[in-house]
Amino acid sequence: MHRESQTVLVLGGDGYLGWSLGIAIAHRLGDKVVLVDKLVKRVWEKAVGVKVLVPLARPSERIREYERIYQKRNLFFEKIDLLDPKATTHVIRKYRPAAIVNAAQQPSAPYSMMSPKTAAETFSNNIVSHLNALWALAEIDKSILYIKLGSAGCYGGVNTDYIPLTKTDFSFEYGGGLRKIVQSWLPMHATDFYHQSKITDFLIDDLGADLWKLRVITVQQATIFGATVEENHPEDHRGLITRFNYDHVFSTVLNRFVCQAVIGHPITVYGEGSQRTGLMSLPDTVNSFLNLLNLDVGRGEHRVIHNYTHRLSIGEIAESVRKLRPQARITYLKNPRRETESGLAKQIEVHSSLQEAHNEKEKKFLRELEIMMGFVERYKDSIDPSIILPKVRWER
């Protein structure tokens, strides 16, 4: 299908997902991509005392490497603090993009549970930056497509097997009579402050679309696993590697398990391991966002996409890693978090843009794990085991 090239702003373009998405949009679609980031995650990592698997060069150097490898000049960087409304408006006005992907947030539940300061920082960062982007869109150009990263963890405390994940009418009995709540999202429920911030910004998306007739997609994204996409997987593309956290604060579960298995550290399951989580590989996640850029979303419409392919318990995830490293040992730690056994529903309607990722997904899963393990093996000597075990507890 022929498609005119366009300009896309990726907020959070120095991040795990934002960088992967930025290089994929620029390389595969040929769009002009502007990565917008304050580089604050690098500051948070230092403050917490953790490091990434492969150190990241400055954005300008990473972009030069992209230009060298792909012989293209369509990737740019702007250092912007999205908490600054003027700077946010300025960058959107300067580039007048066709679409904005907002992946610029504090993305860690443990970080949000460390102290009153980090909880407040998570709320103010995640909500104010998002509000600034919506205000800027409303003032500059309401036809810009705004794709916001949500989280499947918004359903953390809800048994989604029995509740539709769409805006709908709810009936229930109360005080002897039948009551109705009309056109409501299901009562989402967080079990940490990070996910509470994601629930709040989900509702802000809904309000922004309705109030100002914006075109908004919220992607209720499941946990992402993997380290590379096709642009940065080859060994000689090291300069294009994305951020890969494997520590107890910022890493997602499967990335951490793979690092543990590769260095012969026991795989540490929190609790009994029966809590379920939605999962999606980094390549599938990136592909799905490439499709979402073409989604026809009307003015005033808030489209919600549930982005996941797999749904496994933490114990099953650990066992999958052990299939590839049979010598790996699994140990069970007292769960530092508050987690329930629910998670994404078994029967969630999958958007047509995601169908491809669901084809033969069981077979694909072990292959995807193998690819990640191969990548981690390359850098296993730089893994620091002292930053893996949990130190942040939910209980007070």
Ligand X SMILES: NC(=O)c1ccc[n+]([C@@H]2O[C@H](COP(=O)([O-])OP(=O)(O)OC[C@H]3O[C@@H](n4cnc5c(N)ncnc54)[C@H](O)[C@@H]3O)[C@@H](O)[C@H]2O)c1
Binding site for ligand X (CB under 6 A): 12, 14-18, 37-41, 81-83, 103-105, 107, 125, 129, 149, 151, 221, 223-224, 243, 252
Nearer to ligand X, 79 or 393 (CB): 79
The amino acid sitting at 62 is: R
Nearer to ligand X, 243 or 265 (CB): 243
Give the nearest distance from C-beta 180 to ligand X in angstroms: 32
Contacts of 205 (CB under 8 A, 6+ apart): 134, 148, 150, 216, 218, 302
Nearer to ligand X, 133 or 267 (CB): 133
Phi, psi of 233 (to 5 degrees): -75, -40
Give the nearest distance from C-beta 183 to ligand X in angstroms: 26
Nearer to ligand X, 17 or 190 (CB): 17
325 in Cβ contact with 242 (< 8 Å): no
Strand pairing partners for 168?
184
| Structure tokens that stand for 312 in this block | 């496994």
Q: Is the dihedral of CA 158, 258, 48, 82 positive or negative?
A: negative
Give the nearest distance from C-beta 289 to ligand X in angstroms: 10
Contacts of 363 (CB under 8 A, 6+ apart): none
Give the nearest distance from C-beta 149 to ligand X in angstroms: 4
Give the nearest distance from C-beta 221 to ligand X in angstroms: 4
Nearer to ligand X, 213 or 361 (CB): 361
99 in Cβ contact with 21 (< 8 Å): no
| Structure tokens that stand for 116 in this block | 């009153």
Give the nearest distance from C-beta 153 to ligand X in angstroms: 7
Give the nearest distance from C-beta 254 to ligand X in angstroms: 9
Nearest to 347 by CA among 152, 163, 149, 155: 163
Give the nearest distance from C-beta 156 to ligand X in angstroms: 12
The amino acid sitting at 324 is: L
- 3-state secondary structure string across 53-89: CCCCCCHHHHHHHHHHHHCCCCEEEEECCCCCHHHHH
Nearer to ligand X, 125 or 320 (CB): 125
State the greatest distance between any 2 C-alpha atoms of the chain, in Å, as a whole number: 71
Give the nearest distance from C-beta 225 to ligand X in angstroms: 8
Phi, psi of 303 (to 5 degrees): -95, 135
Nearer to ligand X, 129 or 353 (CB): 129
Taking CB positions, which residue lies at the least distance from ligand X? 15
Nearest to 21 by CA among 89, 104, 86, 115: 104
Nearer to ligand X, 102 or 353 (CB): 102
Cα end-to-end span (Å), the chain: 55
Nearer to ligand X, 31 or 37 (CB): 37
* Cα 7 from Cα 25, distance rounded (Å): 10
Nearer to ligand X, 20 or 268 (CB): 20
Angle, helix 361-378 to helix 253-262, in steps of 10 degrees? 50
Question: How many C-beta atoms surround the C-beta of residue 323 within 10 A?
Answer: 12
Give the nearest distance from C-beta 270 to ligand X in angstroms: 16
**Burial letters 64-90, b for 16+ CB under 10 A, else e:** ebbeebbeeebbbbbebbbeebebbbe
